[in-house]
Chain A
Amino acid sequence: MIDYRVRFRTNLVIAACGLAAFAVVPFVANSGLLFLAGLVAINIVFGLSWNFLFSGVGLLSFGHAMFFAGGAYGMALITRHVPEMPFLLALVLGAACGGLIALVFGVVALRRASGVYFAVLTLAFSELIHILITKTTFLGRNDGLTGIPRPVIELGFGTLNLTSATAYYYFIIIAMTLVAVMMWCFQNAPAGRLLQAIRQDQMRTAFLGTPIQGWQLTAFVISGTVAAFCGAVMVPFTQIASPEIAYWTVSTQPILFTLLGGAGHFWGPAVGAILFGAIDYGTRTMHGLSEITVGVLLLAVVLIIPGGLLGLLKRRRAAASKSTRAETAGERTSETEAGK
């Protein structure tokens, strides 16, 4: 029997430590690094939303950019056209844009495709949305929507001014921590464990009377909503929504974060996103060598530690207790323990 209360406490501590580490950034870093840290915080949850689908339900999405962009553009449109709308409501509506895209797409696609076919279907839809954005004047076409203001939140007893990058940064890391903890809770709640069961043995779970597709759709919509929330939170930070965020390379980002950090662990995407931010920062002055450097690093990680960084730690620990064949065993345990 797993004691979920102990686990919850452990993960809450992890989240709190992460929040604390990010909270220190404005005191020790310049504004460029602060900006990067804000993007990394958003990427962490973006990665979590993808892995929620991948490790949680076993669905490989290659089109997460469409949700992210959906949220970002939803948010950008609201702030431009309905500036009087309360900021938090706008965020919720932005996230709902992504959820809606996920719902429509999921209803159509989940019944039909699975595995790599599903992945390519998400890729194709995501590219269509990208093209749609670049062709819609309302959405600023290729130049995007620029000059999006940061909010001042009315709190009844006072106002919260988030117009400076640093203030908004704190809003980001708190919002992202909350969403991450909520995702952990969902994944470890009965519903999340049911999704696990679907992932591990769809047929048997179906025999138990579970509506498989209904649950898959639910998970898909949740994942899309969270990804869109990330996009919506990002827009006032970068103050621009441009079609680059809907491009297919953005869809590869959460995949890279997850696999680099370790798909078998809930915080794997977080580790991956931070590492990627670091690589990005480290290669920013290279003339023409950044792609090959990223490629070689990525290849090295995948070849040397195919379970991701957290998978490596776990394997080390497992190897200390018993010597099983590292790679497959490590994968197995990490699969069953996903969401730990």
Chain B
Amino acid sequence: MMYDIGLTVFNGLAWAMATFLVAAGLTLIFGILHILNFAHGGFFMIGAYVSYTVMLAFGAGLPLWVFMIGAMAAAVVVGLLGWAVDMFVFRRLRDVEDAYSLIATYALLLVCGGAVQLIWGLNYLSVMPPPSLNSVVFIGDVFMPTYTIFVILSGVVAYIGLELLINRTQIGQLIRVVAVDPWMARLLGLNVTRIYLVTVIFSFAMAGVAGALLMPNQSLSPELGGIFLLQAFGVVIVGGMGSIRGAFLAALLLGMIESFGTYLFPQYPGIFFLLALAVILLVKPSGIMGKEQTA
């Protein structure tokens, strides 16, 4: 019994932090640009494929640092794509209704899938974690793959890093100002366009890193873009209006519900996340960290 609960908590944490890694960049863009970026999953996928290519170039039995180089490469490539997307898509749609940006990102998701298929083909690909992360540890009776622990730690590190960035640095302060009132920020002489650009690049780079870090857990195929998308959306929305802390807490909450739901009611796989999403939004429509809206 204790064993089962321990493992279920552990699996819930793994779900939560994997989803948070994907959702972090998403929530950043959502908070500042108010765009729910459908293409995030697509760029997550490109990050995974870029890192796959890097690891393939180095050959088998990869040490951890090669894995990290793959993650860096994914961050750079996807960050650059983010620059292009902001320049050519988001910037042009800033003055029209948000719904159009939504459609643009949906179109980008399709383009990402098509591009991956053209570059890397349709076959399923996979990579194992680096050997130093491919073992297990026991905590009590509970069986914990080190790679899963690595994913959980990555999520926590990403969270702390983002919190520090947003709250303790100058750029973080600027981002917060622009998020609250871009019009006023512009009047104060801030280069709002540049702050948007930095946020988008950073958010995309996060998607790339997430793709690289989660890749050894996942089969790669052009469908990968959609796999984390819905649950990352859920985490962002339940978290509330672009709040990093909200997304982190939401990921933990939904991860535990999903994990325990599956443990207790195995006949209904994959349904608890959606149920919890609906119920939480009904009880607290603006999300965990969101303020109640007036209009």
- Find out whether A and B make contact in their complex, taking CB atoms under 8 A apart as touching: yes
Binding site for B on A (CB under 8 A): 54, 60, 108-109, 112-117, 120-121, 123-125, 127-128, 131, 135, 202-203, 248, 252, 255-256, 259-260, 263, 288-289, 291-296, 298-299, 302-303, 306-307, 327-328, 331
Given A124-B281, A295-B110, A303–B92 Cβ distance below 8 Å? Answer: yes
Q: Are A120 and B270 in contact (CB under 8 A)?
A: no
Q: Are B99 and A299 in contact (CB under 8 A)?
A: no
Given A263-B99, A299-B111, A121–B93 Cβ distance below 8 Å? Answer: no
Given A117-B237, A125-B278, A131-B270, A299–B295 Cβ distance below 8 Å? Answer: no
Given A124-B274, A289-B114, A60–B99 Cβ distance below 8 Å? Answer: yes
Q: Which residues on B sit within 8 Å (CB–CB) of A289?
A: 114
Given A112-B281, A327-B95, A252–B286 Cβ distance below 8 Å? Answer: no
CA distance A298 to B107 in the complex (A): 6
A-B residue pair count with CB separations less than 8 angstroms:
127
CA distance A203 to B295 in the complex (A): 8
Q: Which residues on A sit within 8 Å (CB–CB) of B95?
A: 327-328, 331
Given A113-B285, A203-B295, A303-B93, A292–B113 Cβ distance below 8 Å? Answer: yes
Q: Are A299 and B107 in contact (CB under 8 A)?
A: yes
Q: Are A108 and B282 in contact (CB under 8 A)?
A: yes
Determine whether B115 belongs to the interface, using a CB cutoff of 8 Å to chain A: yes
CA distance A336 to B149 in the complex (A): 55
Binding site for A on B (CB under 8 A): 34, 36, 88-89, 92-93, 95-100, 102-104, 106-111, 113-115, 117-118, 122, 230, 233-234, 237, 268, 270-271, 274-275, 277-278, 281-282, 285-287, 293, 295
Q: Which residues on A sit within 8 Å (CB–CB) of B104?
A: 298-299, 302-303
CA distance A307 to B122 in the complex (A): 36
Give the residue of B97, B115, B271, B275 whose beta carbon is less than 8 angstroms from that of A292: B115
CA distance A298 to B103 in the complex (A): 8
CA distance A293 to B118 in the complex (A): 12
Which partner residue on chain A sits nearest B295 by CB separation?
A: A202
List 8 tightest A-B contacts by C-beta distance, closest first: A292-B114, A295-B110, A298-B107, A295-B111, A113-B285, A299-B107, A112-B285, A306-B96
CA distance A127 to B115 in the complex (A): 28
Which partner residue on chain A sits nearest B286 by CB separation?
A: A117
CA distance A127 to B230 in the complex (A): 10
CA distance A299 to B295 in the complex (A): 31
Give the residue of B97, B113, B230, B287 whose beta carbon is less than 8 angstroms from that of A117: B287
CA distance A296 to B107 in the complex (A): 7
Give the residue of A113, A114, A298 whose beta carbon is less than 8 angstroms from that of B110: A298
Which partner residue on chain A sits nearest B284 by CB separation?
A: A112
Q: Which residues on B sit within 8 Å (CB–CB) of A128?
A: 271, 274-275, 278
- Distance in angstroms from B266 CB to nearest chain A CB is 14
CA distance A128 to B276 in the complex (A): 11
Given A124-B234, A299-B89, A117–B285 Cβ distance below 8 Å? Answer: yes
Q: List 29 A-B contacts (CB under 8 A).
A: A109-B282, A112-B282, A114-B295, A116-B36, A116-B98, A117-B286, A117-B287, A121-B278, A121-B281, A124-B234, A124-B274, A127-B230, A128-B274, A128-B278, A131-B270, A202-B295, A203-B295, A263-B99, A288-B114, A291-B117, A292-B114, A292-B115, A298-B106, A298-B107, A298-B110, A299-B104, A306-B93, A328-B96, A331-B97
Given A128-B278, A302-B107, A259–B117 Cβ distance below 8 Å? Answer: no
Q: Which residues on B sit within 8 Å (CB–CB) of A255?
A: 99, 102-103
